[in-house]
């Protein structure tokens, strides 16, 4: 039973009726742990509203108790003379607290003293989660009561124990206030620990009552869809824990877009996924299918953009929107023309590939790019095909096999500009380098997945995926891998050098990142899994 509760603690989805609470109160010689000490500890533990244990002791502070403290608490110097020091008390008290959620009225005050002594004595900061009855009362009943002092709250909720500035009595009064506040919180749908911990920061907006829309959501990975009154989907998101994520929109998120979404929100639909990878891929596919207006950053572009090496007599780089099966070299796809232009400019900086688009030999003189020495252009007819061919071959080799052919020249230019203190220009080259390196890396990952055919992979904790030519076909968790899954595509079709669309590219990137981050093990594949030997180098700028 204890292990099961602890497991629920870890994902913060434990029902409040199963959560152990340790309600505590400290009496001290003053207000700061830097120069004051604990004089008394009182605590009571509860599970499901039932008391399961109590702890009470005076503590010798090792210093005189100020008179005003004695007047306030009734604790005199003679009462603590023979009391144990905190060094003797703390180990037993930490054992009593165990893994319970710590509760106090202005609990940060109590925790500041406990953490100070705990750290000083080598136990470290208390890892326990905490609940402040002051913050809860401010959120739930602030308009019903004249102030939020413990004495006032205890009287308001008719606590049988009256706070007297003695630790155990104050802890019992705080516990009564806690359980009374939990009843109020339950009317707002707060039934689990995660809800309670977030409640004090929840905005008191006109839309807060819509938090009930998340009550039926499971605490599992998946995708959620926000719908308006007309049934239109206006936002799609993914989550490790669907219920927690949706409820978080009501907890102190002050972004204007969130307020607008909550105003429109009428229904929350969801799709449970077996793993985070499946949730990420499902979110991506749904966003591309529905194009929700609030998914601005991830909203799919109207068209894809590619950088292509043309098939002319003197090939050059060109921006195109269509991927053709013509056997030519492509890079992409890119979300915007600007992103494609950045990569093309990086290639121009790395290789003196032709830049002018006119017919070779039709100009009386070299074009401006040739005159500046940044491009080998055949515009005046002086450049032969055999002289130009090594430039094209080096570009192709850099894209297909060895990225150093393309990235080293950019690295060298950056270093030279930095040495000359032309930092702005060096920054431009840096951005181009990073864009090209990222493009080459994603191209390689896509080709690796695409050429592998059907690929089975699984992590150490049993989350697995069936990947077919760079797309997620099936996912599982808990090691429950199906014995057979029929292919959905044409495995005999020739591999595609780059993804045909932005959606395919982004999905393949998600899968590749999952394979790397999770340390997934390849179980089997229908074709060999391989990548070029030459790695994409990291960017280093000389000092």
- Distance (Å, whole) CA 457 – CA 519: 10
Our answer to whether residue 540 is catalytic in this structure is: no
Contact assessment for residue 117 and residue 31, using Cβ atoms and an 8 Å cutoff: no
Stretch (H or E) spanning 117 = helix 107-120
Marked catalytic residue, from 165, 179, 207, 290: 165
The label of the residue with tokens 């089975």 reads: 456
DSSP letters along 244-287, please? HHHHHTTSS---HHHHHHHHH--EEEEEE-SSHHHHHHHHHHHH
Nearest partner of 85 among 62, 108, 65, judged by Cα? 62
Contact assessment for residue 153 and residue 163, using Cβ atoms and an 8 Å cutoff: no
- Distance (Å, whole) CA 74 – CA 65: 11
Which two tokens mark 387? 């002289």
Contact assessment for residue 103 and residue 131, using Cβ atoms and an 8 Å cutoff: yes
- Distance (Å, whole) CA 456 – CA 467: 6
Which two tokens mark 361? 């030999």
Buried b (16+ CB within 10 A) or exposed e, 259-273: eebbebbeebebbeb
Nearest partner of 125 among 106, 140, 108, judged by Cα? 108
Q: What are phi and psi of 228, to 5 degrees?
A: -90, -175
Catalytic residues: 165
């Amino acid at each position: 039973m204890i292990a099961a509760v602890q497991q629920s603690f870890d994902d913060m989805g434990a029902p409040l009726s199963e959560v152990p609470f340790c309600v505590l109160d400290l009496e001290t010689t003053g207000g700061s742990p830097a120069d004051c000490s604990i004089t008394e500890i009182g605590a009571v533990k509860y599970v499901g509203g039932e008391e399961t244990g109590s702890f009470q002791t005076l503590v010798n502070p090792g210093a005189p108790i100020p008179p005003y403290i004695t007047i306030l608490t009734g604790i005199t110097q003679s009462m603590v003379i023979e009391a144990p020091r905190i060094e003797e008390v703390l180990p037993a008290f930490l054992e009593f607290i165990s893994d319970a959620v710590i509760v106090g009225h202005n609990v940060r005050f109590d925790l500041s003293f406990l953490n100070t002594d705990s750290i000083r004595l080598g136990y470290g900061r208390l890892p326990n989660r905490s609940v402040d009855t002051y913050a809860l009362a401010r959120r739930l009943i602030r308009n019903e009561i004249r102030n939020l002092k413990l004495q006032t709250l205890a009287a308001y909720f008719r606590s049988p124990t009256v706070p007297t500035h003695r630790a155990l009595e104050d802890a019992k009064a705080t516990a009564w206030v806690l359980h009374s506040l939990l009843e109020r919180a339950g009317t707002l749908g707060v039934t689990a620990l995660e809800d309670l911990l977030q409640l004090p920061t929840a905005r008191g907006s006109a839309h807060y009552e819509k938090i009930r829309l998340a009550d039926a959501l499971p605490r599992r990975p998946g995708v959620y869809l926000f719908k308006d009154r007309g049934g239109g989907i206006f936002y799609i998101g993914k989550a490790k824990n669907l219920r927690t994520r949706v409820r978080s929109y009501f907890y102190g998120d002050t972004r204007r877009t969130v307020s607008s979404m909550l105003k429109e929100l009428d229904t929350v639909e969801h799709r449970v996924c077996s793993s985070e990878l499946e949730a990420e891929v499902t979110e991506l596919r749904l966003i591309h299918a529905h194009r929700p207006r609030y998914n601005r950053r991830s909203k799919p572009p109207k068209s894809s953009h590619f950088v292509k090496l043309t098939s002319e007599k003197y090939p050059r780089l060109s921006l195109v929107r269509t991927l053709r099966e013509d056997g030519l070299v492509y890079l992409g796809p890119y979300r915007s023309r600007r992103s494609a232009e950045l990569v093309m400019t990086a290639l121009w900086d790395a290789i003196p590939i032709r830049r002018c688009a006119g017919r070779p030999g039709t100009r009386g003189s070299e074009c401006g790019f040739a005159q500046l020495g940044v491009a080998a252009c055949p515009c005046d007819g002086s450049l032969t095909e055999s002289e130009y061919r090594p430039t094209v071959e080096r570009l192709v080799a850099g894209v297909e096999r060895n990225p150093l052919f393309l990235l080293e020249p950019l690295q060298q230019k950056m270093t030279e500009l930095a040495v000359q203190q032309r930092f702005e220009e060096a920054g431009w080259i840096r951005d181009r380098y990073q864009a090209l390196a990222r493009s080459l890396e994603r191209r390689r990952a896509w080709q690796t997945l695409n050429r592998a055919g059907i690929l089975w992979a699984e992590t150490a904790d049993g989350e697995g995926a069936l990947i077919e030519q760079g797309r997620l076909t099936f996912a599982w968790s808990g090691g429950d891998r199906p014995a057979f899954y029929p292919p959905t595509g044409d495995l005999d079709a020739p591999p595609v050098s780059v993804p045909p669309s932005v959606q395919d590219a982004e999905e393949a990137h998600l899968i590749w990142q999952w394979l790397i981050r999770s340390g997934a093990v390849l179980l089997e594949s229908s074709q060999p899994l391989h990548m070029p030997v030459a790695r994409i180098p990291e960017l280093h700028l000389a000092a």
